[in-house]
Structure 1
Amino acid sequence: MTYAFNASYAACVILRVTYGKSTPTATDAPEIIVIHKMLMRPGVLLVERYPILKYVPGYATELEQWRREDSQLFHGHLDRVSRELATGKAGPSFARYLLENLSSHKLSDEEMAYLAGSLFGAGSDTTAVAIMVLVMASACYPKAQEKVQEELDVVIGRDRAPTFDDYNSLQKIEAFMLECLRWRLVTTLGFAHRALTNIPYKNMCILEGAIVFGNHWAISRDTSVYSNPDQFDPQKWLKTDGKIRNDLKFPSFGFGRRIYPG
């Protein structure tokens, strides 16, 4: 039930950012169904393991149907923003930015539709998971949550919401969020990388062209970097003066050329 609420909330937020959509989005809405298809775990499709299947007549029929559904949905949202622009009713959104800057980015309608759709797909389910982790950490470690609430009460109070101007004054909150992202990862493997050449590793060789995933979970449990890695402790991100450490990082959203676009 909690995840369903988070998924709905996250979808509403990312649809507002991407397309300016201000109406509620249910968990069984077409947009959410498309996201779940887009975010299937790597390797779930046989064609990923056996590329020759793409040449088998009829095999790709279902995949092509999904592609048409995605395209229809993405184009539908983009067309709606285009109509709103024409009537002066469009609010701020990523899609509006794309449509208003055609001469500078020179993207086709298809490219714009899928670019905006990728932003939506990348930012919805992952946001819901991150919120769930934060709620779980707060419930499991109430003492750490109390410190965060205390900082909010001192810096912000109870009469307004935080703004970006408060960012540098909320170090405990930043540490809490950093620890959430390390303690329970949003993506345990991140994006796929391709080996550009043969890579010797210990007594093995990763062949050129091989698909490689960085094991984020193992990285997050590296005891030479993170003390007591299985223990949730935001304090590990703070220096003695209470500021965020600049010598400690965690690749929550990937690394290299395939860093997470969301």
Structure 2
Amino acid sequence: MFGSDFYLPLAGVFLAAYSIASWFPRKKRNPGGLPLPPGPSPLPIVGNVLGLNAEAPWLSYTEWGAVYGDLVYSRLLNQEIIIINSEKVARDLLDKRSYNYSDRPAIVTLTNDFFGWSFNSVLIPYSDRWRLHRRLFHQAFRSEASLAYHPMQIRKARELVSNLLEDPENYAAHLQTHSASIIMSVLYGYETAARDDPLVAIVDRAVTLAVGAIRPEVAAFLGAFPFLQHIPAWFPGASLKRTALLSQKYAHEMIEAPFKYVQQSMASGTAAPSMVVDALKKITGNDPSGNVEMAIKESSVTAFAAASETTASTLLIFILAMLLHPKVQERAQAEIDAVVGTDKLPDFEDRQSLPYVEAVLREVLRWHPAVPLSIPHATTKSDIYEGQFIPQGATIITNTWAMTRNAAKYGNPEEFLPERFLDADGELTDDTASFTFGFGRRVCVGRYIADASVWSAMVSMLALFTITKCKDERGNDIDVNPKWTAGVTSHPTAFRCRFTPRTPGMTSEKLAEML
């Protein structure tokens, strides 16, 4: 889970575990003696840690759900975990009882800023500070406001396909730049370079490190053994401490660099409209404590980090899906050709006339959700659900992965089948796979912008390219056996593919004329 060099010097930790067992917080039990949700039997001290797939915990939770049901109890060291494997249960609890399920776990790695990410709006507790962040987000990201970004998103999608035409081998880097460039424009009015943008590099570096490190399993481990946070970085095996120090440095750079850009552009009178610019103008002279300015800084960089990572991950999943399912790609392209033609690229005005493309997008979200476990919630008070007791302060994990594998709703769930989102007449169903964006008051605030960003990039790539497998020296297809990253987000690791222009002789000059 943490790497072998982290485990070796800790061989004696578990031997000494009973001597520090008194550190474990005592949970308030229910006076009625109601049962906890069923789950795997925990071992003394370590709980269910050893039975957890650390690289893909959502798989373990889904397996537990098949045995124990939609609501599963487990324990990771001293932390009680309630896993929700059903969309119905998630809506019953996180939506209908959001007043009790909108907090975040008291993660030791965040409350003491061990990784440098305590600023993150997604992770801070349910509080006045969080509500201030949420208000700032709402002004820029609500559904009505998101419509104003459509022209910019189409322009960025055109830049993406231009980069793919010129340099297809570095497609993953282009996707990252594309995703970051959209949110940078929304938040800071910043225009990224087509490639190797310095601000994008700063954020990518910080997010990549944090995504793999800030996980519930890591937090539970450090919560049970807090002294490990104070081990010197030079100590043999203290790789997590070294990672934390590096993460603190990267996070500070990620927070300050784009904000300074806005301050400088406002001072010079060249600032473009953006969330940060608009928010700063509203507080001029009315923020003596500096709390609102700090909230603007924190909320904007949170959106920057979250959106650039998840949008790029979703587009990587889309490319892999098209590579592995050429018939789906052909059908989507045929629909685009019939509705839009071949002499121009689709626009948002065409979206309602492209139901199969829309179904492909929904199936990408379902087939491999970029955030398989969402972000953990926590209970403010104890609760009872269908006769089962949910403790106060329990970590609530929404297993989005299990919801996408609901065979009763999605037959043959492992198959990539966009048709599942179409009715017998070829019209879209009411299922938008919205649960992949979370539930309750903690639902993803940027979902409208993310949806439009993914659609515009996806439909542009489909219109211009055919995505295929690479060939070996004998002209045979090189098989792709996808492997997936671990952490808060999950996407396929690097794989080879070809972006072949659908129009013979397509060049950068011809593409520029088409655009």
TM category, shorter: 0.7 to 0.9
Query: Structure 1: which 5+ runs fail to align?
Result: none
Structure 1 window deviating more from structure 2 (59-68 vs 217-226): it is 59-68
2:226 paired residue among 41, 50, 53: 53
- Structure 1's 101 and 146: CA in aligned 2 closer, same or farther, altered over 3 A? farther
Give the total of aligned pairs. Answer: 261
Residue in 2 aligned with 1:42? 215
2:250 is equivalent to residue 78 of structure 1? no
Aligned partner letter, 1:83: Q
- The amino acid across from 2:263 in the alignment is S
Q: Which runs of 5+ in 2 are unaligned?
A: 1-169, 234-240, 447-515
Partners of 2:227 and 2:180 lie apart in 1 by: 32
The correspondence for 1:23, drawn from 183, 192, 216, is 192
Alpha carbons of structure 1 residues 2 and 183: separation in structure 2 relative to 1, 3 Å: same
Alpha carbons of 1:48 and 1:196: their partners in 2 closer, same or farther (altered >3 Å)? farther
Q: CA RMSD in A?
A: 3.2
**Aligned counterparts of 2:204 and 2:184: Cα–Cα separation in 1:** 11
| AA aligned opposite 1:32 | D
Give the fraction of aligned pairs with identical amino acids, expressed as a percent: 27
Please identify the structure whose Cα radius of gyration is greater: 2
Q: Structure 1 residue 133: deviation in Å?
A: 1.0
Query: Which residue among 270, 276, 281 is the counterpart of 1:100?
Result: 281
The answer on 1:13 being equivalent to 2:13 is no
Query: Structure 1 residues 232, 56: closer, same or farther in 2, change over 3 A?
Result: closer
2:8 paired residue number: none
Instruction: Output aligned runs, 1:196-215, within 5 Å.
Output: 196-199=380-383, 205-215=389-399
Shift of 1:204: 6.4
Please give the alpha-carbon distance, in whole angstroms, between the structure 1 residues aligned to 2:421 and 2:187: 32
Query: What TM-score, normalized by structure 2, do the two folds share?
Result: 0.45
What do the CA deviations read for 1:25-67 (whole angstroms, capped 9, x no partner)?
A: 5388222111223433413544775177289767898757744
CA 1:121/1:51 → structure 2, altered by over 3 Å: closer, same or farther? farther
Matched to 1:39, the amino acid is V
Change (3 A) 1:125 1:247: closer
Match status 1:135 vs 2:307: no
The residue type paired with residue 183 of structure 2 is I
Map residues 1-262 of structure 1 onto 2, 5 A cutoff: 2-24=171-193, 26=196, 29-40=201-212, 41-43=214-216, 45-46=218-219, 49-50=222-223, 53=226, 66-67=247-248, 69-102=250-283, 108-199=292-383, 205-246=389-430, 249-262=433-446
Deviation at 1:253, TM superposition (A): 1.3
The alignment partner of 1:150 has SS state of helix
The amino acid that maps onto 1:30 is I
Greater mean alpha carbon deviation, residues 41-50 or residues 176-185? 41-50
Tell me the alpha carbon deviations over residues 211-234 of structure 1, each in whole angstroms, 9 at most, x when there is no partner.
111111111111111111111111
Q: Give how far 1:196 is off.
A: 3.4
Q: CA deviation at 1:130?
A: 0.5
Check 1:252–1:97 CA distance in 2 against 1; reply closer, same or farther (3 A cut).
same
Deviations 1:162-193 (A, max 9, x none): 22222211211111000111011111100111
Q: Residues 47 and 224 of structure 1: is their aligned pair in 2 closer, same or farther, counting only changes over 3 Å?
A: closer
Structure 1 residues 223 and 8: CA distance shift in structure 2, 3 A: same
Distance 1:48 1:27 in 2: 37
> Structure 1, residues 75-129: CA drift from partner, whole Å, max 9, x if none?
33123213212333222332223223336x9762211111110111111111111
Letter of the 1:108 partner, please give it.
V
Distance 1:91 1:158, change over 3 A: farther
Output the CA distance in 2 between the equivalents of 1:183 and 1:65. 34
Three-state SS of the structure 2 residue aligned to 1:226 is coil
Deviation at 1:9, TM superposition (A): 3.0
User: Whole-Å Cα distance in 2 between the matches of residues 233 and 207 of structure 1?
Assistant: 39
Q: Measure, in 1, the Cα distance between the counterparts of 2:305 and 2:414.
A: 30
